[in-house]
Chains A and B, each alone.
Chain A
């Protein structure tokens, strides 16, 4: 439950759901824009509002795609390690 809450807090801020990422203080804004969370709210919002044009939009989507691949295989690897150390009593 704690992890869930922490995730909610981080995602809300860094995805731009609370406030547009450009409004965040300097470095945080840059970090948030390149983070995987930006793809949740910020990227689609920027594209739909016409704030970013063709090429920039493509770059944003490409970054998102890169994160998808990285996180997919990262999560699979982590899961593999975790399952080896997991014991379940009962069900």
Chain B
């Protein structure tokens, strides 16, 4: 059930991070189309020389290629990295698996890169606002959180609304403005990324950083 609740959130975060740089997103989309076109050109060139390949014609192969491409597209659009995400149930394997495959599963590590990778080992609870003490952009407050003592004593990252972040800007122009302000502030992580409430996400999973 937890995984089910996490899934749309991670998917949304994934899409948002892809959209952070719009030009890059457009180039990636165009490149994907180009890939498919190149593959069809290859098939066309091949079948121009060999009209029947053991009973297969150009159009039957193109049909099959299209079906495979469609399935691949659906797969990488909605389920990229799902397997490792699912396998990574709350255990030390979690952190290990995060480094393995897939864009969806990488999220918790890539947004707050300092948090889990510091090699701190089991220790006091880590709070996001402690990790980013004075690095919040203008208009963001670091909210002191209520007690986060973990009964088990492990370093458990828990969510108590540590980051008070603005709403995701709806329009393209607003996003551009926000990004421009962010560049001026010389921040390392964009506030757009911070919209993902990672801390709560980790709390849902009750991840223990046992490494």
Contact = CB atoms under 8 A, between A and B. Distances in A.
A86 interface: no
Given A5-B28, A5-B31, A9-B34, 5 more contacts: A1-B24, A13-B42, A19-B46, A24-B45, A25-B44
A13 B46 CA distance: 12
A9 B45 contact: no
Given A12-B38, A13-B38, A90-B186, A25 B48 contact: yes
Interface residues of B, number: 24
B103 to A, nearest CB: 10
A18 interface: yes
Contacts of A81: none
Contacts of A13: 38, 41-42
Query: What is the size category of the interface that chain A forms with chain B?
Result: 20 to 34
A63 B147 CA distance: 70
A23 B48 CA distance: 8
A25 B45 contact: yes
25 contacts: A1-B24, A2-B26, A2-B27, A2-B29, A2-B30, A3-B31, A5-B28, A5-B32, A5-B34, A6-B34, A9-B35, A10-B34, A12-B38, A13-B42, A18-B38, A19-B46, A23-B45, A23-B49, A24-B41, A25-B44, A25-B45, A87-B183, A89-B186, A89-B188, A90-B188
Contacts of B188: 89-90
Nearest to A90: B188
Closest 10 CB pairs of A and B: A2-B28, A2-B27, A6-B31, A5-B31, A9-B35, A9-B38, A2-B31, A13-B38, A18-B42, A89-B186
A3 B32 CA distance: 10
A22 B54 CA distance: 23
Contacts of A87: 183
Specify which of B26, B38, B46, B48 lies most central, judged by the most chain A CB atoms within 10 Å of its CB: B38
Contacts of B45: 19, 23-25
Contacts of A5: 28, 31-32, 34-35
Contacts of B46: 19, 23
Among A12, A18, A87, which residue has the most Cβ atoms of chain B within 10 A? Answer: A18
A12 B25 CA distance: 22
Nearest to A18: B42
Contacts of B28: 1-2, 5
Interface string B1-43: 0000000000000000000000011111111101101100110
